[in-house]
Structure 1
């Protein structure tokens, strides 16, 4: 029997629960079973927000000094790669007093400094660590008169594992971040919100954090895989970790650069992302951020384009179409102006953060040719 379905949000979509919440639930149930000899049919789970939910142990095993439990992660209506995965915890007696946490099979291990976790540690982020600890303590407190006193005399080791974690990790940024062998145990609120892109944003922030550690003077922010490939050709002297694929999260990446004290950031993008950024969009997803062709036509006019080009751009189908029209007319001035505007918008964003970040904006064509390059120091 799986856990009760998560609640729905205002849009009627189901919220879900993070890998951290599932790990905490499994650890809670396994702790109860180890000390009582009986598996609970369900367990209350404390969330980092102070809320509680209820989860059901799915696969269990109790053998002397070891109790193992798995719960199935329900990500709600969020299309996360870990949706449906088993998240497991094994609790056993430890040789030293206290509560100890380890990562087992399918949980990634940190191999590079700069992620906020020691090299060699399991990739269980700080908030999930606290959440697992809190839920194990809650389990102890239901059985013992003084849980803290018990742990002064006895030890418990909690090992989190994900049977399919190594396979699932290949569909995440973990290999890129130097997290090997499995997924990360994540979550700040304990919940997963449908299409909130929270995990996506967090991975960009983590990549900037790692990049800043290894290349603090200069990071290159690329909006996609091809842009990143072209960026590496532009800056072959920089280490691999200096290149961060930011996808739609220009603002998130710039904010992270400011927070990490990066000296310079170069944004490398193709025309559609340049256009969105020039429009002041610091999240450049197509949904909710359509290209404003009236704006593009206005930019063309301000750049001295012919009436024919202005009219053609006003009727363009895509940002790429606008670029092709400018190339066909032999007039790249509007494209240069758009790149200037994208740089100016990014600089304003950084200034509002109170940051000191030198910026560079590089527009590349679809074959990697650098079309426009602008900088602001």
Structure 2
């Protein structure tokens, strides 16, 4: 719901937009007019229609005759980096017997590392969008009495720049964006794309044979763990607030060693067993921190002062001034919470807790 309790508006994935563009281009290629709007079928059976924002036809020595169409992506009320981007599809006839093949147009990346659901060298058009596009253009070809031997090139206007705001570079997807989607629909604030990027990051690290990775809550913690271990980007998992999603995936896709690194306030939540570390999912529990201070032998005065503090960082400062290892205690409890989620998976876990400057203020060793 929004701030006024109105339902958040859903949107469409890049995969859905690419499918709509490809279907319209295929119809034009086989001698018809560009259908506007163009209707596509989603994996769940829904049949949304899309207005065309751009069309073109032509012929060249490489492809022969071609047709192209573009859809402006509407992500609904989701803060998606591709909202408003023009997703283009260009279609031409392929080699007889080749079936439907894919190319990366301008703004769509290419896979360069193993571990993703696509082979190295392939356009970063994910399996479900490929299936949607293949089904759509094959249907058009059959209706025209033509073989479905087609090349489909997908591009995204300004995609290379937009990709810098995603995790694609870390996943080895170079040159642009990925064409994504599993249902064809964007659910606002579901954060599905982020969690999928976490999972693909783990897959890439495993495929590269890495036995030690770090899952971090942000840039500050990434810099701290990199300074300690000299990690490459492929060893760094940007888990953000999704500790639970990261640990659950590692439970079924283990690595030998995992360093969890994050700020004191966020890991104070993890230490309490909270797996979503976003500020909206739970506030800092000053009473809980005060109780941990009591376990460490704090004076009644310090415990009372901690309960009245404004921030977790303030409590940490009080503990440090008193010589009490509160950071270590939070790290130990966060590690215990992580191990519980991992449920005996073969993953050794270390926890590093940082302050706002990136200094390590707590540690729980796992090996």
Q: Which TM-score applies when normalising by structure 2? A: 0.92
Which of residues 186, 196, 199 in structure 1 aligns to 2:190? Answer: 196
Write the distance in 2 (CA, Å) between the matches of 1:296 and 1:101. Answer: 55
Alignment partner, residue 62 of structure 2 = none
Write the distance in 1 (CA, Å) between the matches of 2:309 and 2:183. Answer: 43
Closer, same or farther: CA 215–254 of 1 in aligned 2, 3 Å: farther
Q: How many aligned positions are there?
A: 357
2:280 is paired with a residue of what secondary structure?
coil
What residue ranges of structure 2 are gaps of 5+ in the alignment? 60-64
Which of residues 222, 225, 230 in structure 2 aligns to 1:231? Answer: 225
Aligned-pair CA distance for 1:11: 4.3
* Aligned-pair Cα RMSD in Å: 1.8
Aligned-pair CA distance for 1:113: 1.7
Closer, same or farther: CA 309–215 of 1 in aligned 2, 3 Å: farther
Deviation string, structure 1 residues 214-266 (Cα, Å, up to 9, x no partner): 24311111211111111011112x44411222111112222232332311111
Deviation string, structure 1 residues 262-296 (Cα, Å, up to 9, x no partner): 11111111201210101211110111211122222
Alignment pair present for 1:318 and 2:311 = yes
Which of residues 224, 249, 252 in structure 2 aligns to 1:256? Answer: 249
CA contact (8 A) 1:209 1:256 kept: no
How do 1:145-164 and structure 2 match up within 5 A? 150-151=146-147, 155-164=149-158
Deviation string, structure 1 residues 11-61 (Cα, Å, up to 9, x no partner): 421100000000001011111111132111212111122222111111111
Alignment partner, residue 352 of structure 2 = 362
Write the distance in 1 (CA, Å) between the matches of 2:233 and 2:87. Answer: 32
Alignment pair present for 1:37 and 2:32 = yes
Alignment partner, residue 58 of structure 1 = 53
Alignment partner, residue 21 of structure 2 = 26
Closer, same or farther: CA 337–371 of 1 in aligned 2, 3 Å: same
CA contact (8 A) 1:49 1:189 kept: yes
Q: Which TM-score applies when normalising by structure 1? A: 0.90
Deviation string, structure 1 residues 47-87 (Cα, Å, up to 9, x no partner): 12222211111111133621100000000011111000000
Alignment partner, residue 90 of structure 2 = 90
Alignment partner, residue 339 of structure 1 = 331
Deviation string, structure 1 residues 135-183 (Cα, Å, up to 9, x no partner): 2233335x246xxxx43xx621111111211111111111222211111
2:48 is paired with a residue of what secondary structure?
strand
Alignment partner, residue 126 of structure 2 = 125
Alignment partner, residue 102 of structure 2 = 101
Closer, same or farther: CA 360–11 of 1 in aligned 2, 3 Å: farther
Aligned-pair CA distance for 1:96: 2.6
Write the distance in 2 (CA, Å) between the matches of 1:303 and 1:139. Answer: 71
Runs (4+) off by over 4 Å = none
